Structure 1
Amino acid sequence: MSRAPIKHAATSRPKPTPPGQERADHILDLGEFQNVDTLTLSEASLVINALVAKRRGDRKNVNETEMLTQTLNYLDAFSRFRQKENVEAVERLLSAHKQLAKFERAQLGSLCCETAEEAKTLIPSLADKIGDEELQELLDEISKLQSR
């Protein structure tokens, strides 16, 4: 006499996607970070420098580690916008393009590409989201605000 296999209801939740499976090519799949607010390098520089200055002003332990120093040096070297007003203006320009993912907007604000072709090469997920003419206009507006 054969017995049919017993089917049990699933008692565990599905396994999350293993870390490291994120993609930022023609398909943008950032896993758990998909809809997380993303900063440009210039925004990150403003935030971290403001926090360090506040802690110094409050005479709190800034805990200036080598990692903090290296991060500030990196941001200083690669931030394209130095003035707070320009950083905010770039954020407003980028935020107006709701069809772009937050990650894509941050990449555009950090990389400061000169042409739409360059931007779509470096950020392949832009290809079907924004036309070349519209993207070029955005890049030109961003370029006007750039610290040289």
Structure 2
Amino acid sequence: MASRPRPPPPAEEQVGQSLSLGEFQNVQSLSLSAARMILHAMINHRQKGSKDGSIAMPETETLNKTLDYLELFARFKDQETTQSVENILGNYDELDTFEKSQLASLCCVEVDEAKTLIPSLANKISDADLKDLLDQIIAKRQFMDS
């Protein structure tokens, strides 16, 4: 054999009426706010390591750009509110983790908006339940903004 075998083609990923996430189908998904919280915890841990005399890992350009992105687009900035929203979403077992993370990141106001942006919600949750969920998320955001 002259070359190594070709890897199999990746499964097609599609977020439509049904979720087809390929290799990411059963992977835990994070909201932008949760990812921001994790990155801040990692950076704080790195900074503590350098104070203890151990070698601190340098911050990379990719890390800084990712953090800038998350600072701009994360809807919830403090740990308590982020965890509260994650707990609210955790009560909806019929939703996939991807759908939950999208709802937390997008903070849709109307049911139609949520179903347009996340089409797989259409057959999983009633409009009344989805409206209640969106209202709970929006209440957390408004509480945070005031």
Q: 1:113, 1:18 → 2: CA distance?
A: 34
Select which of 110, 114, 120 maps to 1:125. Answer: 120
Deviation at 1:82, TM superposition (A): 1.1
1:46 aligns with 2:37: yes
Q: Give the TM-score of the pair, scaled to structure 2.
A: 0.86
Q: What are structure 1's unaligned runs of at least 5 residues?
A: 1-15
Instruction: Map 1:126-141 to 2 at 5 A.
Output: 126-141=121-136
Q: 1:27, 1:130 → 2: CA distance?
A: 13
Deviation at 1:57, TM superposition (A): 1.4
Q: 1:110, 1:17 → 2: CA distance?
A: 32
Deviation at 1:17, TM superposition (A): 6.5
Secondary structure, aligned partner of 2:67: helix
* Segments ≥4 residues shifted beyond 4 Å: none
Q: RMSD in angstroms over aligned alpha carbons?
A: 1.6
Q: Which amino acid aligns with 2:106?
A: L
Answer yes or no: is the 8 Å Cα contact 1:26–1:125 preserved in 2: yes
Secondary structure, aligned partner of 1:58: helix
- 2:92 is aligned to 97
1:26 aligns with 2:21: no
- 1:6 is aligned to none
- Identity percentage of aligned residues: 45
Q: What are structure 2's unaligned runs of at least 5 residues?
A: 1-6
Aligned residues: 134
Q: Which amino acid aligns with 1:143?
A: I
- 2:78 is aligned to 83
Answer yes or no: is the 8 Å Cα contact 1:112–1:139 preserved in 2: yes
- 1:111 is aligned to 106
Which has the higher Rg, Structure 1 or Structure 2?
1
Answer yes or no: is the 8 Å Cα contact 1:42–1:80 preserved in 2: yes
Answer yes or no: is the 8 Å Cα contact 1:17–1:31 preserved in 2: no
Q: Give the TM-score of the pair, scaled to structure 1.
A: 0.85
1:71 aligns with 2:66: yes
Give the structure with the higher percent helix.
2
Answer yes or no: is the 8 Å Cα contact 2:11–2:23 preserved in 1: no
